[in-house]
A and B are shown apart, each in its own frame.
Chain A
């Protein structure tokens, strides 16, 4: 049985803010920040958007593109580090919204930026074991960055949903491999509004170590090299890290171009690799091979080897907007409006 992606959908809020606008407020060189991070602007959720609405938008787009009966969905998992409720699932609302309730199992996942890909792996297991016919895996975030912190220049919002099954798969997931250690590079404790991070420690010993080991581990296990793939997508906390890691693994700029969204929308955390993968599926052709490696702080990586099937030709991709179309509809905000949207302006207690 070949388990893979039956359908997918994406969503990114339309609002944007530029590093220059943020830097202006904090007395920082926003232009240099933009260049250093390779981020031209980042997406910002509207006041009535959160991880749930983003997940619902993405899941509905996913359902529009296929003729799967939502009642055949046996599992739904939402991976995020910005679930609106500390206690009470995001997934139940999403399940109701796509009419998959009540005969399914639902849970919210958290593993920093890779909870969405962990959800994909879980669904692969359930489908592969024959426990469910279809599983939905969503990665979505409205990530937080403390005012003035380096993260504020990149932390953004967006997400993508994947329907995992074994019939009419548009892309098979041929292999997955994860690499996990206890590496505290980035964290947010219960009740804290903003995450904290280890500065430069988030680079070499965290992102690069785990992404490189995850990717190499998968290449070894599949006996492949960068040349065997048409596309590659890596977790993208900014534009620079995935570009550097791709080069180190032997991927070309052409291979990573389609999935590299951070320069245009920032770091969508749990949404990052799912969105990049969605953008690749928007244009992929039968036979194309896709290499994907997500990274989550704390820390671990999930790597996937994916092959696009003939089913892509009959697949109703056009029933929902492509990632490119979604992110081309933008409205720029000034910092004051952005601060209001993100709840950074504290109102006096009533």
Chain B
């Protein structure tokens, strides 16, 4: 297997991008990544696009060909593939791209992710997001996507004594990071009171515990590590990739406070890289809800089970903490255009490892991790990156 490097990254701002269409933002991110990699379009061998639900959000399927076409790549007839795994679509697309380069099938691969979520009503958007859970056993019976995470939060509070305030602290930290990221959807810091005083969504989760609906796109360019220096002074190697699945329904799990798929995917990625969680300097984890970040902190191994909330409250996950988590603002403040999220995480980690994260730069970051979740943890993709 060949070693694989990221040689270019690009993204759009995230938010309510009412002036831009899906294809427009997809291409904007892709072009930025290609420009960053200093390559010309004819060098591109293949395209992978992470997208969860363009069919329902904008009534457009056949996303792989669409993006290839509007990127001007259709005439070269390159293979273009859309990848879907709910919230993990982006991370999974990255893994497909990685496999294509590592296997020797392709040399230069562009991996993008995009979602346009704000062209439908809030109710429709929430229905679409809920389709990542089990329609037949969960959603039809009245559960919503936030409600399932509220169950997890309640259980975590009951078993481990995680407090309402600790959940709020996740949002406060990520909004603070978002305020340092010009591309984040939310640019203002918030307080515990902001979270605790916001409208109830599904007890105990409030509006400020939930990632927003967003429009946005992000992309990376991959190539074999031994060719990377031809294109960039600062290649970042993908040293580990791990993917795992779990039961689609939350109620089929032994313990809803643990995402076993996170543990498995992380173990596979760490084993492949030959490193442990202790080596990680900066991590982008899937905080679609504040409780999700707490679970991720524990299941990725950074803190013991039940200690994620306390660690957050103690500031151990901030920019100056033991492990800097969600420096981009995370899904919570950077925004969560579903299919783009996994790629936006990769863009942030590469930016950090290049030392180009400006005000939110983690000092001397060498190793970074991305953690991308689909549904309530039925698909998880973990990647590990290292500065070359």
Contacts and interface: CB of A to CB of B under 8 A. Distances in A.
Interface residues of A, number: 8
A152 B199 CA distance: 18
Interface in B107-149: 118, 121-122
Contact of B118 (A29, A32, A200): A200
Given A204-B16, A205-B18, A199 B199 contact: no
Contacts, number: 16
Nearest to B121: A199
A201 B122 contact: no
A198 B123 CA distance: 11
Interface string B276-289: 00000000000000
A197 to B, nearest CB: 9
Dominant SS at the A interface? Answer: helix
Interface string A186-213: 0000000000001111001100000000
A204 B16 CA distance: 10
A26 to B, nearest CB: 14
Interface in B90-121: 118, 121
Contacts of B41: none
B74 interface: no
A29 to B, nearest CB: 6
A200 B118 CA distance: 9
Interface residues of B, number: 8
B17 to A, nearest CB: 11
Contacts of A199: 121-122
Given A199-B121, A199-B122, A200-B118, A32 B16 contact: no
B122 A29 contact: no
A204 B19 CA distance: 11
A7 B118 CA distance: 46
Contacts of B199: 29, 32
B314 interface: no
B388 interface: no
B272 interface: no
A22 to B, nearest CB: 16
A298 to B, nearest CB: 16
A229 to B, nearest CB: 30
Interface of A: 29, 32, 198-201, 204-205
Given A29-B200, A200-B118, A201-B18, 11 more contacts: A29-B199, A198-B121, A199-B121, A199-B122, A200-B16, A200-B122, A201-B16, A201-B118, A204-B18, A205-B18, A205-B19
